[in-house]
Amino acid sequence: MNFLPSLLVSRPMNHRFAILLGVVLNLAACSFGAIIGTNIPAQPLTRERIARLPEPQQAAWKNYLNNSQQQLNADKNFLLAELKTHNLKQTTPAPSARSFANIPLSRDAAWYSSEQARRIADIIVSFQTPSGGWSKRLDMTSHVRSPGEHFAADNRSLHLGDSDFDSPQGGGWSYVGTFDNDATTTQLRFLARVIAALDKKESTPYQTAFLRGLDYIFAAQFPNGGWPQVWPLIGGYHDAITYNDGAMIHVMELLSDVANAKGDFAFVSQSVRKRAETSLQKGVECLLTTQIVVDGRRKAWCQQHDPLTLKPTSARNYEMPCVTSAESAGILAFLMRLPQPDSNIVTAINAAGAWLEKTQVRDVAFRTVGDDGRHLVPAPGQGPIWARYYDATTDLPIFGDRDKSIHDTVEEISRERRIGYSWYNDAPESALNTWLKWESHPNQLAKPGNLSAQ
């Protein structure tokens, strides 16, 4: 272990000083760092794993997996049938975009009845998969999907190596329907805005697509209330309960808006609203159940949790099964918005808030140094920031690299990963500040104005 972790262990009462001094010493003597482990791949959801569950639990999981496989086959067969019908030899990739910035969600309400908005809505409907979801990084301003055109753009990693955890699963059928990178939830929110701006007759095709999208969300939910990154399932870490980049939280926020008929979602029927509320409650139960507990003490959450064991699990080669700060902050913020939280939710919130408070660091920055990429350097007066990953037992930062090695200092990982990944960030600051003022905070007096679901 390097000097920084040992210093933090020996000086727990002066955490801020220990971090600053440790950084300085690490910069001068990073040879103390060590490879502390090797990342192992996440296990997919399989029939063999389900067969090892207690007998009463197996039926629901078998049914879920069967539904996933049937829908995956239906999605693929739909595309194959198009190729045959139109005498096409192969599919063409969907138009790609870096993000969904081309799907505006904050325009004036009147804009969503415009020709431009309806054109985007038509493109969105055309790229909806047979299962009801959408892929990620789609350009929703380019053109309406053509027969034989794939539902997904090329989402392959640019750095694939042998036995890479991010290798395309299912014969290259990758991210065809997903919640990753705001996919599916973004399309559904845009359709809702257009539906709200049009009369019932004009909005009918968009309502149909919207309700198919909700059915996709309901079908993708695990029996224990979680959601995978990709559905139908395609194996690998994509089968895990996914909090990474807010995937599951975005689904639950959408369901909350639907269940409460908030704003654009007033058109949703009472029966669908009730179904959304039930699904949402199961999701909340999953959040509480997956909160990491060490020696009887609740902490926060991992980016991914195994769908069956609920334990933290890995994702890409450099993404480890441990506590993650940004995703935990997103979950914390969501839980604090719930109206009338019960004692279990309050306990989870206060534990996560305390963990964020404990693991924050100040007087340092993660910034570019010369031509050697980013490093953690002294920066008096700056912060707080958090490491992206923390060992669940020690609450000390850990770092991964593309070769699956796990390190106890960011200085030891490759320059490419130091440049290309957010190993330290300030994303949790807003959630921490909200928790410090939250009326059920253990150090706050009860007062009116509790945060409620919007």
Strands, E assignment, 279-438: 293-294, 297-298, 304-305, 323-324, 364-368, 374-378, 386-387, 389-390, 399-400, 405-407, 424-425
Q: What are phi and psi of 328, to 5 degrees?
A: -65, -40
346 burial class (0-12, 13-18, 19+ CB within 10 angstroms)? middle
Q: Cα 191 to the chain's mean position, in Å?
A: 22
The residues pairing with 178 across neighbouring beta strands, listed in sequence order, are 230
* Catalytic pick among 137, 193, 275, 316: 316
Q: Which two tokens stand for residue 302?
A: 């991992």
- Rounded CA-CA distance 313/41 in Å is 8
For residues 190 and 247, is the Cβ–Cβ distance under 8 A?
Answer: no
For residues 389 and 403, is the Cβ–Cβ distance under 8 A?
Answer: no
Q: Which two tokens stand for residue 18?
A: 């220990």
Q: Which of 304, 320, 303, 314 is nearest to 35 (CA)?
A: 320
Residue 181: active-site member: yes
- Rounded CA-CA distance 113/199 in Å is 9
Alpha helix (H) residue ranges in 139-221:
185-197, 200-220
The amino acid at residue 186 is: T
Residue 87: active-site member: no
Instruction: Please give the DSSP secondary-structure letter assigned to residue 98.
Output: S
- Rounded CA-CA distance 323/386 in Å is 12
Q: Which two tokens stand for residue 434?
A: 């909200």
For residues 304 and 42, is the Cβ–Cβ distance under 8 A?
Answer: yes
Strands, E assignment, 320-449: 323-324, 364-368, 374-378, 386-387, 389-390, 399-400, 405-407, 424-425
109 burial class (0-12, 13-18, 19+ CB within 10 angstroms)? exposed
163 burial class (0-12, 13-18, 19+ CB within 10 angstroms)? exposed
Instruction: Please give the DSSP secondary-structure letter assigned to residue 200.
Output: H
At residue 179's C-alpha, the angle toward residues 178 and 180, to 5°, is 90
- Tokens 């059915």 label which residue? 215
* Catalytic pick among 2, 155, 181, 350: 181
For residues 388 and 422, is the Cβ–Cβ distance under 8 A?
Answer: yes
Residues annotated as catalytic (active site), given as ranges = 181, 316
